[in-house]
Amino acid sequence: AQTVTQSQPEMSVQEAETVTLSCTYDTSESDYYLFWYKQPPSRQMILVIRQEAYKQQNATENRFSVNFQKAAKSFSLKISDSQLGDAAMYFCAQGAQKLVFGQGTRLTINP
């Protein structure tokens, strides 16, 4: 069975600093995707970044980057130069067709 675990229910960071959100997963699939989604108070789910499991190179998207360790089944998200608008719930998700989501990490940005 697929499982996704986010071990940090809450994180906080000073504006302009860097923060890393953790995610581990378990799957028997060999080919799949990993995603980070952001959910601000508006509750809209917004795709932040995507990683294909077959790619060794870590994905980056502007201030967002991932550290993908396939053997360890780890997929962390690094946010550089944190901004107030980054404050949200962040969900890690894994799957080939259907996605399994973690429980989320609430990120607070301190001005």
Q: Which of 101, 82, 80 is nearest to 36 (CA)?
A: 101
Binding residues for another protein, total number by CB under 8 A: 23
Calculate the alpha carbon distances from 85 to 58, 71, 80, 89 in Å: 24, 33, 13, 12
Decide: is 26 part of the binding site for another protein (CB under 8 A): no
Decide: is 43 part of the binding site for another protein (CB under 8 A): yes
Of 16 and 45, the one with the shorter C-beta distance to another protein is 45
Of 16 and 46, the one with the shorter C-beta distance to another protein is 46
Decide: is 99 part of the binding site for another protein (CB under 8 A): yes
Conformational region of residue 95, where left means phi above 0, alpha means psi within -120 to 50, and beta covers everything else: left
Residues interacting with another protein, by CB under 8 A?
31-33, 35, 37, 42-47, 50, 91, 95-104
